[in-house]
């Protein structure tokens, strides 16, 4: 009888405050980035592996349905990680995965799915009898080769990915936790996602990253991100929400400015995105309640604030921001922090 090994793993999505935009080498970042993981937006993955002598065969089920269109992408990913997990050269791999959040809602599913898959593949490797001395690093590195930002979803909380002189252990190859140097002001952040537009992205992040290769502002962006990483880590350490908000918005708007000034250039903000940003900044000015926002490569807004301000902010969201969202959709999530 053939040996079948099973595992179940999940992983959270993440939202970047300093953005990764542009790649070098094999999915390494042009600049360092920092994100936090979410607590409700997860990918849940079941993997079964059957040891055989045959060339690896993959079956993939997404949300209950076979998704063959994903197999070439998975084969490419596995080829890239075979040197790290040689058992994947042969056998039958059965992957079943589902998300706890809706598609195309402004929550990055590639990060959570590749992180949960990376955890699963390393767990199977251990169950087969392989030992991995630095398991956390290996998982993050494998996730990175699947989707760059996924390497920030293999552990919970605040994760730094990319070499920066500010933290000597930082690496372009994997993410590291910076939770221990984060002030309690940033341990309970809320992320309310304003779903301005449902539907898939007009431009894939792969294309977006590649447009940075010959971007006229490439070096300027690398300098800006490095400087923002240093400022962000300082603000996270001191608990300075005001400084955090400045960096957060500068990064979000710079990401979109970079997309607009690419060749070809493109705009991913919708009219309601701009209107919501104006309302958020006006509300902050008039009420003095600290809140900020970030954007990924799409029109949806991540509104970020501390738990203690929920009572003041959520009525504002419902009255003034939800009407700008498609079907009034707002997803209320929050940071997940490692408790151990």
Which DSSP string do the residues of 40-51 spell out, in sequence order?
EEEEEEEEEEEE
φ, ψ for residue 22 (rounded to 5)? 110, 135
Shortest distance in whole angstroms from residue 2 CB to ligand PMV? 36
Segment lying near ligand PMV (by CB under 6 A), choices 14-22, 99-107, 280-288, 315-323 = 14-22
CB 277 within 8 A of CB 301: yes
CB 329 within 8 A of CB 276: no
φ, ψ for residue 313 (rounded to 5)? -85, -40
Residue from the set 9, 11, 13, 19 that interacts with ligand PMV by CB under 6 A = 19
**What x-and-dash track marks residues 189-228 binding ligand PMV by CB under 6 A?**
----------------x---x-------------------
> Residue 62 or 94: which CB sits closer to ligand PMV?
62
CA dihedral sign of residues 203, 62, 38, 140: negative
* Nearest CA among 71, 31, 78, 82 for reference residue 254: 31
Burial label, 43 (beta-carbon count in 10 A; 0-12, 13-18, 19+): buried
Shortest distance in whole angstroms from residue 331 CB to ligand PMV? 16
> Residue 201 or 309: which CB sits closer to ligand PMV?
201
Q: CA-to-CA distance for 31 and 162, rounded, in angstroms?
A: 6
Shortest distance in whole angstroms from residue 319 CB to ligand PMV? 29
How many other CB atoms are found less than 10 A from the CB of residue 84? 17
Shortest distance in whole angstroms from residue 149 CB to ligand PMV? 3
The pair of three-digit structure tokens given for residue 104, joined into one six-digit string: 């195309």
Shortest distance in whole angstroms from residue 29 CB to ligand PMV? 8
Shortest distance in whole angstroms from residue 35 CB to ligand PMV? 6
What would you report as the CA-atom Rg of the chain, rounded to the nearest whole angstrom? 20
Q: CA-to-CA distance for 114 and 146, rounded, in angstroms?
A: 6
Segment lying near ligand PMV (by CB under 6 A), choices 99-107, 143-151, 177-185, 259-267 = 143-151
Name 180's Cβ contacts closer than 8 Å, sequence gap at least 6: none
Shortest distance in whole angstroms from residue 23 CB to ligand PMV? 8
- Strand-pair category, 28-29 with 23-24: antiparallel
**What x-and-dash track marks residues 268-307 binding ligand PMV by CB under 6 A?**
----------------------------xx----------
**What x-and-dash track marks residues 226-265 binding ligand PMV by CB under 6 A?**
-----------------------------x----------
> Residue 122 or 259: which CB sits closer to ligand PMV?
259
**What x-and-dash track marks residues 101-120 binding ligand PMV by CB under 6 A?**
-------x-x----------
Task: Name beta bridge partners: 330.
Answer: 194
How many other CB atoms are found less than 10 A from the CB of residue 72? 10
Segment lying near ligand PMV (by CB under 6 A), choices 141-149, 210-218, 246-254, 304-312 = 141-149
CA dihedral sign of residues 170, 171, 177, 178: positive
**Residues 30-49 contacting ligand PMV, CB under 6 A:** 33
**Residues 148-187 contacting ligand PMV, CB under 6 A:** 148-149
The pair of three-digit structure tokens given for residue 231, joined into one six-digit string: 């400022």
Distances (CA, A) of 157 to 229, 312, 335: 16, 25, 7
Shortest distance in whole angstroms from residue 232 CB to ligand PMV? 13
Query: Does 13 interact with ligand PMV (rule: CB under 6 A)?
Result: no
Residues in contact with ligand PMV by the rule CB under 6 A: 16, 19-20, 33, 108, 110, 147-149, 205, 209, 255, 296-297
């Amino acid at each position: 009888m053939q040996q079948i090994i099973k595992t179940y793993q999940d992983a959270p999505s993440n939202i970047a405050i300093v953005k990764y935009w542009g790649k070098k080498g094999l999915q390494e970042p042009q600049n360092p980035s920092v994100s936090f993981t979410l607590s409700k937006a997860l990918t849940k993955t079941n993997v079964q592996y059957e040891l055989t002598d045959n060339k690896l065969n993959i079956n993939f089920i997404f949300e209950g349905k076979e998704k063959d269109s994903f197999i070439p992408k998975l084969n490419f990913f596995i080829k890239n990680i075979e040197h790290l997990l040689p058992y994947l050269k042969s056998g039958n791999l059965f992957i079943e995965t589902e998300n706890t959040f809706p598609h195309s809602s402004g929550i990055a599913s590639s990060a959570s799915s590749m992180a949960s898959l990376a955890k699963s593949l390393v767990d199977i490797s251990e169950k087969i009898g392989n030992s991995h001395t630095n398991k956390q690093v290996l998982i993050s590195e494998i996730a990175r080769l699947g989707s760059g930002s996924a390497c920030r979803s293999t552990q919970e909380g605040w994760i730094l990915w990319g070499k920066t002189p500010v933290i000597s252990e930082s690496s372009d190859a994997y993410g590291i936790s910076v939770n221990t140097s984060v002030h309690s002001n940033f341990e309970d952040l809320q992320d309310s996602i304003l779903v301005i537009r449902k539907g898939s992205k007009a431009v894939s992040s792969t294309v977006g990253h590649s447009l940075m290769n010959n971007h006229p502002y490439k070096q300027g962006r690398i300098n800006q991100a490095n400087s923002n990483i240093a400022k962000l880590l300082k603000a996270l350490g001191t608990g300075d929400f005001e400084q955090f908000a400045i960096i957060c918005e500068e990064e979000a708007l710079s990401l979109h400015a970079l997309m607009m000034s690419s060749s070809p250039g493109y705009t991913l903000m919708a009219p309601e995105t701009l209107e919501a940003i104006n309302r958020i900044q006006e509300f902050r000015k008039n009420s003095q309640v600290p809140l900020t926002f970030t954007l990924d490569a799409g029109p949806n807004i991540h509104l970020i604030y501390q738990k203690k301000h929920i009572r003041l902010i959520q009525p504002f969201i419902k009255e003034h921001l939800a009407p700008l969202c498609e079907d009034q959709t707002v997803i209320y999530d929050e940071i997940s922090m490692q408790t151990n």
